[in-house]
Chains A and B, each alone.
Chain A
Amino acid sequence: MKALSQRRRHPLAAVALLLIGLLFTGGVYALASSTNEAKAQTFSADEVQEGEKLFVANCATCHGMGAVGSENGPSLVGVGAASVDFQVGTGRMPMQMQGPQAQVKPPQFNDEQTMQMAAYVASLGAGPAIPGEEALDTSEADPANGGVVFRVNCAMCHNAAAAGGALTRGKYAPALSGSTAKHTYEAMVTGPQNMPVFNDANITPEDKRDVIAFLETIDEQGSPGGADLGSLGPVSEGLFIWVAGLGVIIAFTVWLTARSS
């Protein structure tokens, strides 16, 4: 058991996986342009230049000069601006330490810096672009259809109520309640870490919008029955009845059978 967990914690293991994974995603996006049109996003030369400076200072240690990758981090050529915006914008990158997967934490860079780095990485090779306003506009979206798509494609990892779930060997699918529409969309098109890629041929942009609408709806409305106990299903319900329910009942039985003073 110890050996396993040590192997899992071996710094190179996660890196190697990340490297392979991101190389694939990057490579695929460069190749399979028929399904995922690398949207021509306009970044100014200035932004690219600033981004390169930030990249060299903050990312190149692991991802290498020119983002070609190193022993400690995958190549970012062709991962696209969306990937950078997701990883840096949610605070996952830069990683604090090597682990089963990159953790969410407060973003280390402001929006402008993130955009500059995205511009730089996007300039290295075609990849998924940061979704525009119209892609995220959920005013016309159908949350019920989003729910159907979500249950088939997402619920097995992220839980039917988007409360998150466990993966193998310390990895996990995070809860989605804090995620912004843009980051959710970017996660779907880039497939960060162990999440599969859901390209536009798999889940159409309309369906992606519906999924976001569904997530927003269940997040906003809350549970009609009262506190949702973490939306973790029967486990938290069982724990609640044993601890709180029986606890209160025992308190009453003790009072009931105690002598009055």
Chain B
Amino acid sequence: MSSSTTQSTYQPKTSVGKITNYVDSRVGGSGIVKEFGRKIFPDHWTFMFGEVALYSFVILLLSGTFLTFFYDPSMAETTYDGSYIPLRGVEMSEAYATSLNISFDIRGGLFMRQVHHWSALLFVAAVSVHMLRVFFTGAFRRPRELNWVVGGVLLILAMAAGFTGYSLPDDLLSGNGLRIIDGVIKAVPVVGTYISFFLFGGEFPGTVIIPRLYVLHILLIPAVILLLIAIHLFMVVTHKHTQFPGPGRTNDNVVGFPVGPVYAAKAGGFFFIVFGIIAAISAAFTINPIWNYGPYDPSPVSAGTQPDWYIGWVDGALRLMPGWVAGIPLEWNIAMPWGVNTLSLNVLIPALVPAGIVFGLMFAWPWIESWLTKDKREHHLLDRPRNAPFRTAVGVSGVVFYCIMWAAASSDLIATHFFVSLNDVTYWLRVLFFVGPVIGFMVAQRIALALQRKDREIALHGRETGRIVRLPHGEFIEVHEPLDEYKRYNLVNYESHGVLPAEADVNGHVTRTEKARGRLSRFFFEDRVAPVTPAELEAAHSHAHHDEIAEQHDKAAISK
């Protein structure tokens, strides 16, 4: 500590050097440069989605700030007299009128609105794809479980940011969306009516919901998102990035490009690329044409009333749920000592259960998996999705589950565009809601196992060249080109979890949860493909007519 008070004797020569030295000697920048200047980041195209999300968020902050200068979050009545003729003279709220002014009377306003909304859609999409990548490659495993949870919270916050923003123009579409939210809130037992009245400042729609959503949208939610992004990135630095397995890559190192100059240039350049793509989309494609929808009024509604895509799955669940099942209503009036209360299961179940399943499993998965596999080690090497068939199958099952609800949210558009009955679409999706995830699980698991077998085949016998050669004794064979050791290592270097039967604990008891774990382990890992071992390769190579023997070895290795 005492030595730090000694003044450095360094004298910079250039003027840039002088300024840099002035700042550095006061904030300690040299240490940061030393720490991060040459830090290594692995490179893979699937590692870029987190950056896409981050950059979309930055673009959201930039374009959103512009919009706040012209938007007035007021529900006071006004008469529109702006440039858009089909609405001139119509009564509307200040919020809607100023949104129209941004679109029609502020130069570049429409462009900024479209940039803001397109990047919002991209933001949530990028967060989702990023999480799917992390899931399917097993990047959530120790030590990154907590960062996975932070990411999940960020996804929920991204959806919240999107929904609060969607409502701000106070147009007919978003107004009906708010009304649906109000209806769902009112279905909540005991406190629902009160929450609704507190949220809307009285009865729906009231005059305060837009300003309140505005504060959430521009202050509270972005602030929390920023905080969590900081935590998220801090943990990425602490853990260092994961990497795909491959030659030269181990669980103890990280192979890639140094931050300066290559990684910084690529990542920095990528921000401009993402911005450029969003700008190009906003230039040529309309998003949220609020002028079509008209001002919010509780009486009208438009056909095709849907939320933005990330809320769609919940809306789809609401659509799929039947109000009556086999003649039994799903809304119950329950006699209580103080009167009769209403429990609206037809609303509560679809609003809470699918979201509970998806988010519950998502947040808990790192611990579920390590409990199932008893694998508590640190993992810095990723799994190729095919090399973890159980996880890939679970993930695909979840994606199918989500997509069926998502499709249900556009059941009316599916009906009109594919010339089928709206009711039939709903009936089919109700069936798929239960059957789809099961089929998804089975198909994905089989495909993953098949790909693993194909990898084994290639690792053992090389690539098929397509060249057919006739041997002297008349036999035709296809020439297989052996792999070099680097390519082969890519195919053989993975861990394959086997069945771990239930084990007794220290007291010699086999607990019920342990028994359940054993059964699940059997279910998930019964079918597995083991990686090729050097011995097997040796055996495959040492025989001239290797095909039969290799087959035997394959059979031995693929325990069924």
Chain A residues with CB under 8 Å of chain B are 1, 4-5, 8, 100, 142-148, 151-152, 155-161, 163-170, 172-173, 214, 217-218, 223-229, 231-235, 237-242, 244-246, 248-250, 252-254, 256-258
Query: Is residue B368 contacting chain A, with contact meaning CB distance below 8 A?
Result: no
Evaluate contact between B306 and A144: CB separation under 8 angstroms: no
Alpha-carbon separation in the docked complex, A106 to B225 (Å): 56
Partner of B303, one of A158, A227, A234, A252: A158
Known: A170-B421, A225-B110, A226-B284. 10 other contacts (CB 8 A): A160-B293, A169-B423, A231-B289, A235-B409, A237-B287, A237-B308, A241-B118, A256-B266, A257-B44, A258-B45
Alpha-carbon separation in the docked complex, A228 to B416 (Å): 18
Partner of B309, one of A166, A170, A237: A237
Alpha-carbon separation in the docked complex, A134 to B234 (Å): 72
Evaluate contact between A245 and B281: CB separation under 8 angstroms: yes
Q: Name the distance in Å between A71's Cβ and chain B's nearest Cβ.
A: 24
Query: Is residue B23 contacting chain A, with contact meaning CB distance below 8 A?
Result: no
Evaluate contact between B292 and A161: CB separation under 8 angstroms: yes
Task: Count CB-based A-B contacts (< 8 Å).
Answer: 208
| Nearest neighbor of B301 in chain A, beta-carbon distance | A156
Evaluate contact between B125 and A169: CB separation under 8 angstroms: no
Most buried by B among A173, A244, A248: A248
Alpha-carbon separation in the docked complex, A169 to B426 (Å): 11
Evaluate contact between B303 and A156: CB separation under 8 angstroms: yes
Name the B residues within 8 Å of A228 (CB-CB): 286, 289
Q: Name the distance in Å between A119's Cβ and chain B's nearest Cβ.
A: 35
Query: Is residue B427 contacting chain A, with contact meaning CB distance below 8 A?
Result: yes
Query: Is residue B277 contacting chain A, with contact meaning CB distance below 8 A?
Result: yes
Query: Is residue B274 contacting chain A, with contact meaning CB distance below 8 A?
Result: yes
Given A166-B413, A227-B285, A229-B286: A241 touches B48 (CB 8 Å cut-off)? no
Evaluate contact between B286 and A152: CB separation under 8 angstroms: no
| Nearest neighbor of B174 in chain A, beta-carbon distance | A234
Given A155-B301, A257-B48: A170 touches B85 (CB 8 Å cut-off)? no
Q: Name the distance in Å between B177's Cβ and chain A's nearest Cβ.
A: 9
Name the B residues within 8 Å of A172 (CB-CB): 415-416
Query: Is residue B366 contacting chain A, with contact meaning CB distance below 8 A?
Result: no
Given A147-B294, A156-B301, A159-B304: A4 touches B423 (CB 8 Å cut-off)? yes
Q: Name the distance in Å between B25's Cβ and chain A's nearest Cβ.
A: 37
Query: Is residue B200 contacting chain A, with contact meaning CB distance below 8 A?
Result: no
Q: Name the distance in Å between B254's Cβ and chain A's nearest Cβ.
A: 16
Evaluate contact between B125 and A245: CB separation under 8 angstroms: yes
Alpha-carbon separation in the docked complex, A163 to B429 (Å): 24
Residues of B57-93 at the interface with A, using a CB-CB cut-off of 8 Å, are 85-90
Alpha-carbon separation in the docked complex, A239 to B285 (Å): 13
| Nearest neighbor of B91 in chain A, beta-carbon distance | A148
Residues of B404-430 at the interface with A, using a CB-CB cut-off of 8 Å, are 409-413, 415-416, 419-424, 427-428
Partner of A254, one of B45, B89, B269, B285: B45
Q: Name the distance in Å between B281's Cβ and chain A's nearest Cβ.
A: 6
Q: Name the distance in Å between B268's Cβ and chain A's nearest Cβ.
A: 11
Given A166-B412, A226-B283: A218 touches B121 (CB 8 Å cut-off)? no
Given A157-B303, A218-B86, A225-B285: A166 touches B173 (CB 8 Å cut-off)? no
Alpha-carbon separation in the docked complex, A254 to B103 (Å): 35
Evaluate contact between B88 and A144: CB separation under 8 angstroms: yes
Alpha-carbon separation in the docked complex, A157 to B412 (Å): 11
Query: Is residue B52 contacting chain A, with contact meaning CB distance below 8 A?
Result: yes
Evaluate contact between A170 and B308: CB separation under 8 angstroms: no
Subset of 24 A-B contacts with CB under 8 Å: A144-B86, A144-B88, A144-B90, A147-B86, A147-B90, A148-B90, A148-B294, A151-B294, A159-B303, A160-B303, A164-B416, A165-B304, A170-B424, A218-B86, A228-B289, A231-B292, A232-B304, A235-B413, A238-B121, A241-B121, A241-B309, A242-B309, A245-B121, A253-B46
Name the A residues within 8 Å of B310 (CB-CB): 238
Partner of A143, one of B49, B86, B419: B86
Alpha-carbon separation in the docked complex, A8 to B308 (Å): 33
Alpha-carbon separation in the docked complex, A152 to B300 (Å): 5
| Nearest neighbor of A215 in chain B, beta-carbon distance | B86
Most buried by A among B172, B273, B420: B273
Evaluate contact between B415 and A170: CB separation under 8 angstroms: yes
Evaluate contact between B301 and A225: CB separation under 8 angstroms: no
| Nearest neighbor of B424 in chain A, beta-carbon distance | A5
Pick the 6 closest A-B CB pairs, nearest first.
Answer: A165-B303, A238-B309, A225-B286, A160-B302, A170-B421, A166-B412
Name the B residues within 8 Å of A169 (CB-CB): 421-423
Given A166-B303, A253-B48: A143 touches B416 (CB 8 Å cut-off)? no
Given A225-B289, A242-B125: A147 touches B104 (CB 8 Å cut-off)? no
Alpha-carbon separation in the docked complex, A167 to B306 (Å): 16
| Nearest neighbor of B310 in chain A, beta-carbon distance | A238
Residues of B303-326 at the interface with A, using a CB-CB cut-off of 8 Å, are 303-310, 312
Most buried by A among B289, B291, B428: B289
Type the 1/0 row for B255-296, where 1 means its CB is closer than 8 Å to any CB of A. 000000000001001100110011001111111110111100
Partner of A144, one of B45, B87, B281, B283: B87
Evaluate contact between B125 and A241: CB separation under 8 angstroms: yes
Evaluate contact between B289 and A250: CB separation under 8 angstroms: no
Alpha-carbon separation in the docked complex, A119 to B269 (Å): 71
Partner of B416, one of A146, A156, A166, A239: A166
Query: Is residue B157 contacting chain A, with contact meaning CB distance below 8 A?
Result: no
Query: Is residue B129 contacting chain A, with contact meaning CB distance below 8 A?
Result: yes
Most buried by A among B173, B410, B420, B427: B410
Evaluate contact between A152 and B299: CB separation under 8 angstroms: yes
Partner of B45, one of A225, A246, A257: A257
Name the A residues within 8 Å of B172 (CB-CB): 151, 155, 160
| Nearest neighbor of A167 in chain B, beta-carbon distance | B422
Q: Name the distance in Å between A136's Cβ and chain B's nearest Cβ.
A: 19
Evaluate contact between B309 and A151: CB separation under 8 angstroms: no
Alpha-carbon separation in the docked complex, A250 to B289 (Å): 27
Given A144-B87, A164-B416, A217-B85: A223 touches B286 (CB 8 Å cut-off)? yes
Evaluate contact between A155 and B302: CB separation under 8 angstroms: yes
Evaluate contact between A144 and B85: CB separation under 8 angstroms: yes
Name the A residues within 8 Å of B104 (CB-CB): 224
Alpha-carbon separation in the docked complex, A8 to B409 (Å): 24
Evaluate contact between B288 and A237: CB separation under 8 angstroms: yes
Partner of B277, one of A142, A151, A152, A249: A249
Partner of A246, one of B46, B129, B289, B305: B129
Name the A residues within 8 Å of B287 (CB-CB): 225, 237
| Nearest neighbor of A225 in chain B, beta-carbon distance | B286
Name the B residues within 8 Å of A217 (CB-CB): 85-86
| Nearest neighbor of A155 in chain B, beta-carbon distance | B302
Alpha-carbon separation in the docked complex, A42 to B468 (Å): 86
Residues of B26-49 at the interface with A, using a CB-CB cut-off of 8 Å, are 43-49
Evaluate contact between A252 and B86: CB separation under 8 angstroms: no
Given A229-B285, A254-B45: A224 touches B88 (CB 8 Å cut-off)? no
Partner of A257, one of B43, B288, B289, B302: B43
Query: Is residue B297 contacting chain A, with contact meaning CB distance below 8 A?
Result: yes
Name the B residues within 8 Å of A250 (CB-CB): 45
Most buried by B among A100, A168, A227, A237: A237
